Structure 1
Amino acid sequence: MRIIIAVALGGALGSVLRYAVLVALGPVDIALATLTVNVVGSLLLGYLTGMWMSREPSPWLRAGLGTGLCGGFTTMSTFALDTIALVETNVTLAAAYIGGTFILSIGSCFIGLALGLWQSGKGESK
């Protein structure tokens, strides 16, 4: 039950933070807000995973931050809807958005993982 509560609280916080990014970016294309949360969320999840490789957190903390917070903050469904809207107006921009989202999100996850490993001491050269 503790894990379910942690996921619910993390998910609620992540969703509120996602909305805050949308509001903070103001009247720009919503696709920019979606790209931002997906890239930042990938960086955060990579970082947490790197940190957890040296010291495993409690299952409820891992689920609350990883599944809950990062899952609530990032959004595949909005990415899909934004892509469809872009395809209807500009196919080239839609393709750039798809490619950019994947490249930037995977790249930021890799950077976050490296930072987490480095900070935890597992990424140091011996």
Structure 2
Amino acid sequence: MSALLVALGATVGAPIRFLVDLALKRRFGEGFPWGTLLVNAVGSLILGTLMALPLSPEAMALLGAGLCGALTTYSTFAYETVQLSRTGARGRALLYVLASLALGVGAAWTGLTVTALLFG
């Protein structure tokens, strides 16, 4: 049952990631991976929030592993960082790594802390 819930959550998360990335590439161009940065930060915020809630294992499978797992993407982050470096944009690559770490961890911590304060 858990695998089915993960798959169901992923059917929502993956298209959202794709559409956000597409929209931001159209809006800002392909010089910086804004889409991946945004979905990874938002997914981290959601996951931090979920961690503070008394959810069942089934809800965590659906929303945590499924939705957030498909919404966020470490492999794309790694690929885009390498591509920026390979094309000579090492400064942007470093900025991307630092921003991704700060926003991802900060968003997860914020989601966890705020939710715990509100509902704990």
SS class of match (1:86): helix
Structure 2 stretches lacking a partner, 5+ long: none
Deviation at 1:104, TM superposition (A): 1.0
Aligned residue in 1 for 2:70: 72
Amino acid at match of 1:60: E
Provide the C-alpha distance between the structure 1 equivalents of 2:16 and 2:89, rounded to a whole number of angstroms: 29
Amino acid at match of 1:47: T
Backbone CA RMSD of aligned residues = 1.3
Provide the C-alpha distance between the structure 2 equivalents of 1:44 and 1:84, rounded to a whole number of angstroms: 27
Aligned residue in 1 for 2:81: 83
Provide the C-alpha distance between the structure 1 equivalents of 2:106 and 2:60, rounded to a whole number of angstroms: 22
Aligned residue in 2 for 1:46: 48
Structure with max Cα Rg: 1
Deviation at 1:46, TM superposition (A): 0.3
Deviates most, 12-21 or 27-36: 27-36
Aligned residue in 2 for 1:34: 36
1:1-126 to structure 2, matched below 5 A, reads 2-27=1-26, 28-29=29-30, 31-51=33-53, 55=54, 57-88=55-86, 89-120=88-119, 122=120
Amino acid at match of 2:111: G
CA contact (8 A) 2:25 2:34 kept: no
Would you say how many aligned residue pairs link Structure 1 and Structure 2? Answer: 116
Q: TM-score, normalised by structure 1?
A: 0.86
Which stretches of structure 1, 4 residues or longer, exceed 3 Å deviation after superposition?
A: none
Structure 1 stretches lacking a partner, 5+ long: none
Amino acid at match of 1:48: L
